[in-house]
Amino acid sequence: MGERKTREGVVVSDAMQKTRVVKIERVYRHPRYERVIRMSKKLKAHDEGNESRVGDRVLIEETRPLSKEKRWRIRKILSRAS
């Protein structure tokens, strides 16, 4: 089996218990118009110990479905919100 998918993002909501909403942003150039485009996606991630807070930069990894919308788990907190 291969490595699990990992993404880096910022926690934008910590209102739920054991769940965080993480915003993933990707920056790329448009193939034809060469313009820099910023796309973002919000993913729900499992946080067993309720350790992360809004503004924290986190590393999340793909996992089995944990609930209706949760398919990611927070692997580690890269930096705390100031």
What pLDDT was estimated at residue 2? 83
When divided into structural domains, the chain yields a total of 1
Whether 29 maps to a domain, the answer reads: yes
Rounded CA-CA distance 73/59 in Å is 9
CB 44 within 8 A of CB 17: no
Whether 14 maps to a domain, the answer reads: yes
Kindly tell me if the per-residue pLDDT of 1 is higher than 90: no
pLDDT tens string 22-73: 999 999 999 999 999 999 999 999 999 999 999 999 999 999 999 999 999 9
CATH number of the domain that residue 28 is part of: 2.40.50.140
What pLDDT was estimated at residue 82? 77
